[in-house]
Structure 1
Amino acid sequence: MKIVIIGGTGLIGSKTAERLRNKGHEVVAAAPKTGVNTLTGEGLAEALKNTDVVIDLANSPSFEDKAVLEFFQTAGKNLMAAEIAAGVKHHIALSIVGTDRLPDSGYLRAKVAQEKIIREAGIPYTIVRSTQFMEFLGGIAQEGTVGDTARLSTGSLQPIASDDVADFVTDAALAAPANGIIEICGPERARLSDFAARYLKAIGDSCTVVADPDARYFGTKLEDGSLVSDNHPRIGRIGFDDWFATTPRK
C-alpha cells in the first residue's frame, strides 16, 4: 500500500514512516524540503499518484492567529482537492484533544477549521485527536516562567509520548476509516503545574512552580477538563518516568 505522510520528516512523521516501512508499505515522506508543499500546492499531484492513504501531520510555521488559520484552511483545501483528484481512499489527520473546548486559542480555532474541511471533503477519514506530547513539557514550563518562577495552570494534563502517538497513527493508517474522531492520551493524569514541576525536577532545574488556576496556557485559560479526554480514549503505554529515562536530552 502506498502511504503519503504530509509532514513526514517531523517528530511524529519520521516515527510513523519508519513503522509503516517496517510493515512493508511504500511510504512517501512529504514536506516542503522534499518538494511537496500543501500551502502552495507544489508537488502534491505528483506525490499523490496511486496513493491509498494520506496522513496529514503538517503544522503551521507561524502560530500567530491569522497566519495559523490561513495555513490550515489553505493547506487543508489544497490537500483535499489533490486527494480527490488522485482517488485517495483514506485521509488521516492528527489534531488535538480539546480543540473545540478552547475558542480563545487562535491555534485551536484553526484546528477546528481544518477538521471541518476534512469532514466536508467527502473522502473517508479518521481524525486522531491527541493530548499534549511529553516532548513539549519543557516548552510548557518555559511559557509560564518569569525569572525563577513558573506560574502554571492547574488544569489537568494527560501527556503522551511521541512513540505512542506514532503507534496510534500507524494503527489508524492500516485500519478502516473511522469517519469520525479517535482520541489518544498518555497513561497518567495530573495537574499541568504538577507535570511541569516533575519535569523540571527531573532535569535538575530549581525553578519554583506556582500552581495558579488563572495562569494562561499559551494565551488561554484552562478548565480542569480542557485538555484531557473522557471520551473512551486509547491509552498509551509509556508513562513519564519511562519516557524521561529513554529520551535523549538536547
Structure 2
Amino acid sequence: MSFDKEYFSSARYAEVSFKKYSQYWWSNRFYARLAKKHGPPSGRVLEVGCGLGHLLTWLTDDYEVFGGDINEYAIEEAKKNVPEGIFNLLDAEDLLIFPDKHFNILIAKHVVEHLKNPSIAIAEMSRVLAPGGLLIMACPNMDSPMRERKKENWVGYQDPTHISLLAPAEWLDILHKNNLNEIKVFSDGFWDPPYVSRVPKIIQRIYYGLPGGLQAIFGGSFIPLHRGESLIVLAERDN
C-alpha cells in the first residue's frame, strides 16, 4: 500500500474518528502535552510524518510549527487544518531541507515502523535537533504481552506498511548511537480490544483502556512498557 489519499481512507485508518473527544483527539492532545511539559516553552517544533496536521493544532499558540510527510494529499490537508504551520513534502530519512540544530522539539508519532531505514531517519532527526532538544518517538511495542496473545491479529501487525518492527532495546540502541538519551520510556495502555473471548468488547475497552485514558487525560507518563501497545520514548539531544 502506498502513502496516498487511499491510505487515509483505508479501512483501518477510516476507523479513526477525528471528532472532538475521540480516541484520536485525546491521543493528539496527549502528545502535545508531552511536548509542552518536557520541552522548552517556546521555539520550533517539527512533526515528521505529520499526516493531516491535527497534532500540531495543539502547539500553534506556543511554538512555530513545521510538519513533513511523504504523502502529498496529507500535506495539502495539513495546510488547511493548520494555516499557521509550515509544511513540506519530505521523506523522514531525508531532512536535508532543514539546517543542523534547527528544532527545539521533534515529534515522530508512529512513523519509524513505516521506514525501510529507520536508523537513517533517526540520525537525521538528531542532526536537526538543537542541543538539549526533545525527541518524542512512538512506535509499536514488540514487548507488549498482547502481541503473543493476539498473534497475527495484534495491532502492530495489522498495517501492511509496518515494515520495521524492532524490540524496544533495539530502538534505544539506535537512539544512543545518535546522541539521543532517553528521559522517559513508557507505554500507552491496551487500547485495541478484544483481548479475550466471550467478554463484550465495550467492557474490555473500559477495563483495559482505563489506565491509558487516565494517562491521556492528565498528561502523565506512568504506564510501564509491559502494560501497553506502544513504545513511547522521550529523549534529549546531547550538547
TM band (smaller chain): 0.3 to 0.5
Using structure 2 for the length normalisation, give the TM-score. Answer: 0.45
Using structure 1 for the length normalisation, give the TM-score. Answer: 0.43
Rg (Cα) greater in structure: 1
